[in-house]
Amino acid sequence: MKEITNLIAYRPDVRVIDATLRDGGLVNDFYFNDDFVKALYQTNLKAGVDYMEFGYKASKEMFDVKKFGKWKFSSDEDIRAIVGENDTDLKIAVMADVGRTDYKTDIIDKADSPIDLIRVATYLNTIPEAVDMIEDAYRKGYEVSCNIMAISNAQEGDLRAALEILGKTPVDVFYIVDSYGALYPEQVARLADLYLDIANKYDKKVGIHAHNNQQLAFANTIEAVGDGVDWLDATYSSMGRGAGNCAMELLLGFLRNPKYKEYPAIQFIDEYMNRLKAEGTVWGYDLQYLMTGLLNQHPRTAIQFTKEKRTDYAEFYREVVAQD
Amino acid sequence: MKEITNLIAYRPDVRVIDATLRDGGLVNDFYFNDDFVKALYQTNLKAGVDYMEFGYKASKEMFDVKKFGKWKFSSDEDIRAIVGENDTDLKIAVMADVGRTDYKTDIIDKADSPIDLIRVATYLNTIPEAVDMIEDAYRKGYEVSCNIMAISNAQEGDLRAALEILGKTPVDVFYIVDSYGALYPEQVARLADLYLDIANKYDKKVGIHAHNNQQLAFANTIEAVGDGVDWLDATYSSMGRGAGNCAMELLLGFLRNPKYKEYPAIQFIDEYMNRLKAEGTVWGYDLQYLMTGLLNQHPRTAIQFTKEKRTDYAEFYREVVAQD
């Protein structure tokens, strides 16, 4: 059992990262209007959130800028139009996907950028390129984190090897990423032990990015924070791909550091997130995501089911079991 | 950390209790049609559920039979119309509330009843009457469990005293009941320790009945089962008062005993629960329930907010904080 003081005191090293624009952008192809983004920025400031992730630094060679909103590409100019010089305690992050980012050209020196943190996202089989990207971002003056995605079906040996490689880079934070929403809290506890073991050896921090396929995104996040994981991703109203993420409004209510405030989160949801939903943007826990999570499958079939507005859940269950 | 085998093996003592009619009945005043109830019974049989709770044995002196569906009163005749002689492995339960049940007359001898289990529900301050009801049910030949409600704001000393009293009765199971949906998994772990400590002394079992105000009903239930709690309440599609309960479809997917089957649950939700929702019955996690859960308040104000179809969440937050 965890320390009885954990729920009453707090660990000052905890950092809350708002991933609404980035993971939520996967739901609406990054079409957020500026009013929304400005209100989100103000909300994060008031709520005491530590980092705001704006979106991806996606390659304009690979992705058609006419087919996505601007936060797919998150140019420094577009970020500056929202945050100005960002003379605040809220730091700015973007995500850079291995193989989908022209990082050598599109990520400029930190001295000339409003961005503070580059979040490198990788699969286990692309760790060497992730290392290149980490070193590039570090040389340019950024904080750097690394998300190893889809680990719920990774071999522990491979994961350990990857973390050992990352430990020797200048990365600041390793992320546990439950891309499929397949992990139970007990498994998160074991992964946190594994990650922290190597993180402590190399003086790194550990983070968690959870998905809500089994209504466990919040539970897995607070399990992890109880285990010593410091960097916590959340999104307002859980907005994120498929079943969405750990809800910011749940996480802020749980954390005991007085700098975190619940009311600005409630206000933002009331005014902005609920409007997105009312206008027809669809995300969040539903039976099709439970099924892919339970079977530890990529959520793409469930996302397709949602897009097609199918409601034949029993038939979908037969399909995903057949594909298992 | 829990035993690494917990997620792969299973504990044969685990029992799954379907509380859909009873806790779900609080949402629709117990107006379920017979087709629904028969399909639910068949689903529980196919899914390997251990107990099906039909509803309350509410006093017809206190409650107007014209204002509620029949499962508020759960007469033996009405149950028999669904289950016949119930020559199956699925046992039948009803709930009897302290102070709201004419148990001396309305609960007949087990020998003449299709019911197997009487679930006595009590608050801490009505334990002596709960003891009377437990002894009455035991004498009549039933299995008996006892739900101590609203314990998230109980004094540990009072709770311990109550469990010591119940330990000396013929009750079979003590239930941890998170009526307000206020508990975090770490708190559930501590409560499970307390309950199991006294349960083991008197050779009783421990159960859990969770609410989903903070999206933790499933997480708290699997935390408890990992801690040694055997009796697990769940409802299809989480149907239950306010934010609802632990979802049966999540729980059956988690449990590793091969007798539990996921597919019948999915089929039932597809055909019946989703229709209830489409027809306008409203329950389940939403922001107003998060707020009362977070503040460890009774959900009645949040239920009222839902009934009035209010959507001014920020104003509601100000109201509940003011009432705190």
Of B1, B186, B270, the CB nearest to A190: B1
Q: What is the pLDDT of residue A3?
A: 56
Query: Which chain A positions have a beta carbon within 8 Å of B189's beta carbon?
Result: 1-2
ipTM attached to this prediction: 0.95
What is d(CA A64, CA A315) in angstroms, rounded to the nearest whole number?
35
Average model confidence (pLDDT) for chain A? 96
Closest residue in B to A212 (Cα) is: B215
Q: Is the pLDDT of residue B318 over 70?
A: yes
Q: A164 with A40, same domain?
A: yes
Q: Is the pLDDT of residue B7 over 90?
A: no
Q: How confident is the model over A23-45, as pLDDT tens digits? A: 999 999 999 999 999 999 999 99
In 3D space, the residue among B212, B31, B319 whose CA is nearest the CA of residue A212 turns out to be: B212
Chain A interface residues (partner B, CB cutoff 8 A):
1-2, 4, 6-7, 184-187, 189-190, 193, 212, 214-219, 222-223, 226, 247, 249-250, 253-254, 262-263, 266-267, 269-271, 274, 287, 290-291, 294, 311-314, 317, 321
Q: A97 with A159, same domain?
A: yes
Q: B51 with B168, same domain?
A: yes
Calculate what percentage of chain A has a pLDDT beyond 70: 98
CB contact under 8 A, A269 and B218: no
Q: B170 with B313, same domain?
A: no
In a domain, A256, yes or no: yes
How many folded domains does chain B comprise? Answer: 2
Q: What is the pLDDT of residue A9?
A: 87
**Strand segments (E) across chain A:** 15-18, 51-56, 91-97, 117-122, 143-148, 173-177, 205-209, 231-234
In a domain, B274, yes or no: yes
Kindly state the greatest CA–CA separation across chain A: 54
Q: What is the pLDDT of residue A5?
A: 60
CB contact under 8 A, B263 and A317: yes
Q: Is the pLDDT of residue B93 over 70?
A: yes
Q: How confident is the model over B249-268, as pLDDT tens digits? A: 999 999 999 999 999 999 99
Q: What is the pLDDT of residue B78?
A: 98
For residues B90-115, average pLDDT: 97
Q: What is the helix (H) or strand (E) element at residue B300, kind and residue range? A: helix B300-307
In a domain, A90, yes or no: yes
CB contact under 8 A, A269 and B313: yes
In a domain, B4, yes or no: no
Q: Is the pLDDT of residue A4 over 90?
A: no
For residues B19-24, average pLDDT: 98
Q: Is the pLDDT of residue B277 over 60?
A: yes
For residues B30-47, average pLDDT: 98
Q: A272 with A313, same domain?
A: no
In a domain, B189, yes or no: yes
CATH value at residue B173: 3.20.20.70
Secondary structure (DSSP) of B108-136:
--GGG-S--EEEEEE-GGGHHHHHHHHHH
Q: A21 with A147, same domain?
A: yes
In a domain, A198, yes or no: yes
Q: What is the pLDDT of residue B1?
A: 46
Q: How confident is the model over B155-175, as pLDDT tens digits? A: 999 999 999 999 999 999 999
CB contact under 8 A, B290 and A2: no
Q: A203 with A228, same domain?
A: yes
Q: B160 with B82, same domain?
A: yes
Q: What is the helix (H) or strand (E) element at residue A294, kind and residue range? A: helix A287-294
Q: B300-307 vs B287-294: helix axis angle to the nearest 10?
A: 170
Q: A53 with A180, same domain?
A: yes
In a domain, B8, yes or no: no
Instruction: Looking at B107-262, list the stretches that DSSP marks H as alpha helix, in order from N- to C-terminal side.
Output: 127-139, 156-167, 185-202, 217-227, 248-254
Determine the structural domain holding residue B144 and report its residue range: 15-278
| B86 or A5, which is more confident | B86
Number of H helices, E strands in chain A: 14, 8
Q: How confident is the model over B290-309, as pLDDT tens digits? A: 999 999 999 999 999 999 99
Q: B158 with B60, same domain?
A: yes
In a domain, A3, yes or no: no
Q: Is the pLDDT of residue A1 over 50?
A: no
B51-56 and B117-122 as β-strands: parallel, antiparallel, unpaired?
A: unpaired
Secondary structure (DSSP) of A201-235:
HHT-EEEEE-B-TTS-HHHHHHHHHHHT--EEEEB
Please give the model's pTM, rounded to 2 decimal places: 0.96
For residues B224-246, average pLDDT: 97
What is d(CA B97, CA B113) in angstroms, rounded to the nearest whole number?
19
Q: B20 with B130, same domain?
A: yes
The whole-angstrom distance between A246's CA and the closest CA on chain B is 10
Q: What is the pLDDT of residue B6?
A: 66
Q: B42 with B144, same domain?
A: yes
CB contact under 8 A, B216 and A219: yes
Q: What is the pLDDT of residue B291?
A: 97
Query: Which chain A positions have a beta carbon within 8 Å of B277's beta carbon?
Result: none
The whole-angstrom distance between B198's CA and the closest CA on chain A is 18
Q: How confident is the model over B188-203, as pLDDT tens digits? A: 999 999 999 999 999 9
What is d(CA B33, CA B176) in angstroms, rounded to the nearest whole number?
31
CB contact under 8 A, A184 and B222: yes
